[in-house]
Chains A and B, each alone.
Chain A
């Protein structure tokens, strides 16, 4: 089993699925859907196997595969997962599988639709496992193309505008990141391999200054995909226009790749740079949380509300990363996983409502609990998870993220020393923690109010009561994602033990550098 290329298999199965789907006759729609669902199901099971068999005691990178690819440029096919990325692979499998289930009724060009969806997921899987910067960038760009096509070709209102806006933002973001990565590549030994880059950066004579300069493009470049405020603008528009499955994957998983790459290729490669800039990043994250809460208060379009809740979810993740300690990174890891499931669930529900009622405005919807009671339960579970209700994983994540911020508040800030000329403690981390906790609850309280309006109000529009009920697959998808959320919330150690194994190694890397 040791040499079994399980990671490659996880990524290649959806790719094979793409080919199979494209070879299937156009009118065999059920076969096409079965192939897509089957491919995602296999990938999900394989990633579950990786997740379970990941050695928690050993930690570090496991299941590594490496073979040289373009040796002259120092590019290799190198994949592997650590405790931080293993749960994200599982997350990708779960959300992708559920996304196919809820888009079973896709009637518009299903062959092309599912082919692009499979390609997208293969790219996401690849980004989470790549340990070669070049390979990672290839996967990363491989994701952007299908997303553009899926939104522009299958989206709803203002889809061309949204697809173009999203693609330009993310493309420019990735270019900025590439510039940073290339700088490291040229300076730190001609290899794209993650470990070579890491060692190379550290052995530079002027490593501190170097990291301070080049950390920013890499982190911010990937931060765009993680909707780092104020570069989040593409995200609500994109989600509002995208078809359900794409919103689920994009909000739940793809954004997670942004945060993940920012951590792996930003923070881990250049810990000194991270140390220097994080006190600033924290403030942007907080601004993002406040902004998202304000928008959620004003907004009446359901998809926008959920879109901003995903901005808020990623804001939490980045806060956890910015704390740069075990608590914060632990929290970021679980928030990526659980928040991803939560976002996927919420987008699935909104999609189900919109598909039936063709309404997305909160004020036009009412009394839907009579039509889709399970959707109401799912929405409540999602909103409570967002709120950080104990018993759901949002609490597990927030507790650790904010504990991380509290303990980071005592460390001196090099940035402040540089700017203000005197070494001061980064006391504002504590303020960020206090304001953050409050803002998140306010934000989620409005989401609950939306749930009350959409599901539990007296039905005003009797047409809505005649909507078709949820079918078996949709019910299964909702119940499945809710069950995962509740299980992780009540048994945090199930995921946390893996995340922690990865985070310990990351934190060691941060401290030995400083």
Chain B
């Protein structure tokens, strides 16, 4: 137990790699062994992550389960890991979604061996991002996650997969180039990549003595540029309007399991990056004016305001875009832009309080920040469930065209019920988790961005419209012509097994949000202090 306790996070993170090796040494003809063996194996990290979650000491707070090891001393990068109240829920979410997404991948016939091996690699890289406390290690896992995702889309995706996968990898890599350059400069300025040091007053880059001369510019300029470089990389990942254009293609073309991980976890890397890096490393940049001397309504347009405005646009335009889709999967994909907008609104509302003179009460900022983290978890659950359900109906009908479904509730009654439940979760129905997090974000954002919060809440109306549109087109009305003669099978046991835990989690977090919120609060308070 000692080994387990002192290396808990590393064990959770690298266990999937063990799974990958096991998959690779299994003969490729043993398809069922590979599928169900992988699913069974992925329960081990889940159990361990739950153990970490519940043994986190909330009264102590801060980073726990820390490990540190010499790794790359030439640039002062160490293998340093730890988890706090912000990362632990996301670690659990990753371990929770992985077996479920694997269940929805069992119908893959083309080389399941390669697919599950890549899946395990993806899981390790995602977990690695959430545990790393070193900037280089963070970047390493962050970038590695692109490779398995690229191949999942490229090899197992639908018709337009080549275009979508290339667009996905080029967009995300291009966006992280700026971050890579900023990382290089930060390493030279602060002479360390330790995140806990970089966020301290002593080690913060481009402040105090932690500067390097760059073309003779003022350190604050370098700081603002680095801030923008990080923000662009993470905003593209979330994605924030107008950097979202890769998302509908990638989500729509990916196989069901890949879409679930993409929407469920990969988008959260962006939000997590803001919490872990951008907010604590650049606390003062948020309240700087984007263009000095330029203001609206007598107020300077700061970076926080800009982000809140983009969040509002993401919420509104994401919802409108969803509404306009005729492709079921694309509709769900655009809904991610809409929901993740609330994460950005929460981040902006919390970040504005990082400036001591902002006049924002810490309680408001904490509520907004915690709401944003909870929204990431919630959206992870609901979007994964929605993509899974799209996959179920696509597998039976081989079409994603909303106009062709119609009346499926009568022939697939159980599926209809589950789809209704999950749609309500996505919609933010009170009693399910989406309501809690969106309420918290709007409640916390109210004092900082009153107008934008009101407008964003109005965006929720459109959310209702597109969700109901999807329900109406799929479940109600006359049964689609093709299905009158070829009745569709209802959702089967394995698929229920894959989606029921998500529904359960939505319900539990909706009724008893403190289960996750207590620990999230500890993390966000630690960040804001």
Using a CB–CB distance below 8 Å, which chain A residues touch chain B? 326-327, 330, 384, 387, 389-391, 395-396, 399-400, 402-403, 406-407, 409-410, 425, 427, 430, 433-434, 437-438, 441, 445, 448-449, 452, 456, 491-493, 496-497, 500
Contacts and interface: CB of A to CB of B under 8 A. Distances in A.
A406 B140 contact: no
A403 B140 contact: no
Interface of B: 70-75, 136, 139-144, 147, 154-155, 162, 166, 169-170, 173-174, 177, 180-181, 183-185, 187-188, 212-216
A437 B212 contact: no
Given A403-B188, A430-B215, A492-B72, A437 B181 contact: yes
Contact of A441 (B173, B185, B216): B173
A107 to B, nearest CB: 33
30 contacts: A326-B74, A387-B173, A390-B139, A390-B140, A390-B141, A390-B142, A396-B72, A399-B75, A399-B180, A399-B183, A400-B75, A403-B75, A403-B187, A406-B185, A409-B213, A410-B214, A430-B214, A437-B177, A441-B174, A448-B169, A449-B166, A452-B154, A452-B162, A452-B166, A492-B71, A492-B74, A493-B71, A493-B73, A496-B72, A500-B74
Contacts of A406: 184-185, 188, 212, 214
B72 A403 contact: no
Contacts of B215: 409, 425, 427, 430
A403 B184 contact: yes
Contacts of B70: 493
B214 A409 contact: yes
A387 B144 CA distance: 12
A390 B143 contact: yes
Given A406-B212, A407-B188, A493-B73, 19 more contacts: A330-B74, A384-B147, A391-B144, A399-B180, A399-B187, A400-B75, A403-B188, A406-B184, A430-B214, A430-B215, A433-B181, A434-B181, A437-B181, A445-B170, A449-B166, A491-B71, A492-B71, A493-B72, A493-B74
B74 A400 contact: yes
A399 B143 contact: no
Contacts of A449: 166
Contacts of A437: 177, 180-181
B154 A456 contact: yes
B170 A425 contact: no
A389 B181 contact: no
A427 B217 CA distance: 11
Nearest to B144: A391
A423 to B, nearest CB: 13
Contacts of B185: 406
Nearest to B111: A373
B127 to A, nearest CB: 14
Nearest to A389: B143
A327 to B, nearest CB: 7
Contacts of A445: 169-170, 173
A433 B184 contact: yes
**Closest 5 A/B residue pairs (Cβ):** A390-B140, A410-B213, A390-B143, A492-B72, A427-B215
A500 B139 CA distance: 23
Given A406-B185, A441-B177, A390 B72 contact: no
B71 A395 contact: no
Contacts of B139: 390
A57 B222 CA distance: 37
A402 B181 contact: yes
Contacts of B143: 389-391
A418 B177 CA distance: 35
Contact of A389 (B147, B155, B166, B216): B147
A430 B221 CA distance: 15
B155 A456 contact: yes
Contacts of B212: 406-407, 410
A430 B154 CA distance: 36
Which of B70, B74, B170, B188: most chain A CB closer than 10 A? B74
Contact of B140 (A395, A441, A456): A395
Nearest to B213: A410
Contacts of B173: 387, 441, 445
A112 B74 CA distance: 45
A455 to B, nearest CB: 11
Nearest to A373: B114
B484 to A, nearest CB: 35
B249 to A, nearest CB: 16
Among B136, B139, B140, residue most surrounded by chain A Cβ atoms (within 10 Å): B140
Nearest to A381: B147
Contacts of B216: 425, 427
A344 B155 CA distance: 27
A92 to B, nearest CB: 23
Contacts of B155: 456
A438 B214 CA distance: 19
A219 to B, nearest CB: 25
Q: Which of B70, B71, B141, B143 has the most CB of A within 10 A?
A: B143
Contacts of A441: 173-174, 177
A430 B213 CA distance: 11
A379 B401 CA distance: 38
A378 to B, nearest CB: 14
A402 B185 CA distance: 9
A433 B214 CA distance: 12
A108 to B, nearest CB: 37
Q: Which of B71, B139, B147, B184 has the most CB of A within 10 A?
A: B184
A427 B215 CA distance: 6
Contacts of A452: 154, 162, 166
B371 to A, nearest CB: 32
Given A330-B74, A403-B75, A441-B174, A391 B140 contact: yes
A490 to B, nearest CB: 9
Contact of B75 (A327, A384, A448): A327
B524 to A, nearest CB: 29
Nearest to A411: B213
Contacts of B213: 409-410, 425
Interface centre among A326, A384, A403, A427 (most CB of B within 10 A): A403
Nearest to A429: B215
Nearest to A491: B71
A456 B188 CA distance: 41
A493 B77 CA distance: 10
B251 to A, nearest CB: 20
Contacts of B73: 493, 496-497
